[in-house]
Structure 1
Amino acid sequence: MMFQFNLIVGLVYSVVVQAAIKDDIIHMYKNKFNGDGTYYGPTDGGTCQYDPPSKPPAGLNPIIRNFVALNKPQFLGSYSCGMCFKVNSNGQGLGTNPIKGHFVVFVADLCPECKTGSLDFAINGDGRWKIEIQAVQCPVGNTKLEYKFQGSNSYYIKLQIRNARIPAVAVKIKQNGSWKAMSHSADGFWILSDQKPVPTHNIDVQITAANGETVHDTIPELVNAKVLHGSQKVQFALDGNLPTA
């Protein structure tokens, strides 16, 4: 009885957290936020672990001007990894390298000390500049969702969902014919760890975006540290209710 009670409490808590994260993400698309733009220099990897040379195609789109570290409040424990933001700035601030213009950036890292509305740019520069940001759907073009396993085996799955037009807020994986919800990690992965194995080939996943759209895909094989493409070649559809890059 106690096990069942704890299981129910855990499921309810997971649903509540997922709903809150979904609302927080959509809020970033629907509103503009004022903050500071700063610089922390070129870096590889970052909290979101988009290690070179396997950068997501959306981040390499010519529309993207810079990779950035997002402020901690809006990073949402890494749910915001891979999001895109439109930046507006008139160069107001202090320093020698003003941030000016209207452009789009890609979230690849966390700025722990940054406040809401602020970005730390992964390029060399100097100063603190006033910026305005708003989330936009990433410019994925015709590219599809990508996947990357880390330290995984049939009993422990750690999976990165990459190159999403809109960030995922829930992921399930098929295990022994049933869908099992995966938990989200602080470094932008999805984890399943229990006593029942997951297939190492033709791995079925169900992915839900922040706007509620759900897609299904099949990952051909469980291979660690390699960017993989699903056999069903899916991507979240362009949402007419959310701004675009």
Structure 2
Amino acid sequence: MDIIIAAVIMCCLGSVQAYNKAVLSLYVQRFSGEGTYVGRGQTGACQMGPDFPPVATHPRIKSLVAINAEQYSGSIACGMCFRVRGKGVGTGSDPIQGDFYVFVNDICPECKEGDIDLAEEGDGSWEVEIQAVQCPVGNTKIEYKFQGSNPWYIKLQVRNARIPVNSIMVDRDGQPHPMKHTADGFWELSDGLVELPIKLEMTAVNGESVRDIITRIESDVVIQGENGVQFSRDNRLPHA
């Protein structure tokens, strides 16, 4: 591999690998915090709606949620699923209690570690525990959505993944080129022409890699990959 290309890859990978350990810790630990309500709505920093991926409307997912800024992990948490355990302890008229699953669609900038904002109407602040789980994707596949893209500038959202993606490589002239992760849950590539079909290698936070092919660039439309890939269920991590 060309020395310059290798250096670019290592630089870009370093920025996303900083989140790898932090995101994995969300699966192996329970975090205590406060649960509050932000009101119903389909907008959010992750820009998943209004055409949400299949997992967001799975029967086991009770609510969309905004996660605290620290555990948002630079938007790697966009599209993740969490188990919430409400203790019914707090102040207000609508206690959060029992176990249920939520889908991350937003960031709560003022929230502290362990805090969440439910996208529901409600009142009060309540003690909760949160823990990441593998999303209940069933037999559905990873999806894609471009934003403002063309062959010279790619901004790509990876949707409906069982486990969040930590890095993406795009094949260009037989060489892997890293995409840059954005604060709004997308991946960017803007340093040259990308010819169709776009060949991707995506690596999840647990280290598993899958390869897919995107045959067209069309912004604001959900696109299926040609290979129809999904990350495997990892028996080391909890799942919904």
Question: TM-score category by the smaller chain?
Answer: over 0.9
TM-score by length of 2: 0.95
5+ residue gaps, structure 1: none
Does structure 1 conserve the Cα–Cα contact (< 8 Å) formed by 2:39 and 2:120? yes
Q: Determine the structure 2 residue equivalent to 1:205.
A: 200
Cα distance, 1:5 vs. partner?
Answer: 10
1:188-212 deviation digits (Å, cap 9, x = unpaired): 0000001x3112x321111000000
**CA 1:9–1:178 in 2, change beyond 3 Å: closer, same or farther?**
closer
Correspondences of 1:81-230 after superposition (within 5 Å): 81-194=78-191, 196-199=192-195, 201-230=196-225
**CA 1:5–1:207 in 2, change beyond 3 Å: closer, same or farther?**
closer
1:37-87 deviation digits (Å, cap 9, x = unpaired): 0011012221000121x1011111000000000000000110100000001
SS at match of 1:92: strand
Is 1:79 matched up with 2:76? Answer: yes
Q: Distance in 1 between matches of 2:221 and 2:6?
A: 36
Cα distance, 1:11 vs. partner?
Answer: 4.4
The residue type equivalent to 1:111 in the other structure is: C
In the alignment, which of 20, 23, 44 is matched to residue 21 of structure 2? 23
Does structure 1 conserve the Cα–Cα contact (< 8 Å) formed by 2:197 and 2:215? yes
Does structure 1 conserve the Cα–Cα contact (< 8 Å) formed by 2:9 and 2:177? no
Q: Distance in 1 between matches of 2:8 and 2:175?
A: 18
SS at match of 1:82: coil
5+ residue gaps, structure 2: none
TM-score by length of 1: 0.93
Cα distance, 1:172 vs. partner?
Answer: 1.1
Cα distance, 1:178 vs. partner?
Answer: 2.0
**CA 1:241–1:104 in 2, change beyond 3 Å: closer, same or farther?**
same
1:182-237 deviation digits (Å, cap 9, x = unpaired): 0000100000001x3112x3211110000000000011211110000001000000
Does structure 1 conserve the Cα–Cα contact (< 8 Å) formed by 2:44 and 2:106? yes
1:5-37 deviation digits (Å, cap 9, x = unpaired): 998765444333332211111100010000000
Identical pairs, percent: 47
Q: Distance in 2 between matches of 1:16 and 1:160?
A: 20
The residue type equivalent to 1:202 in the other structure is: P
Does structure 2 conserve the Cα–Cα contact (< 8 Å) formed by 1:164 and 1:236? yes
Is 1:237 matched up with 2:235? Answer: no
Cα distance, 1:88 vs. partner?
Answer: 0.6
Q: Distance in 1 between matches of 2:74 and 2:11?
A: 16
Does structure 2 conserve the Cα–Cα contact (< 8 Å) formed by 1:74 and 1:80? yes
Does structure 1 conserve the Cα–Cα contact (< 8 Å) formed by 2:13 and 2:178? no
Runs of 4+ in structure 1 off by over 6 angstroms are 4-9
Q: Distance in 2 between matches of 1:84 and 1:42?
A: 18
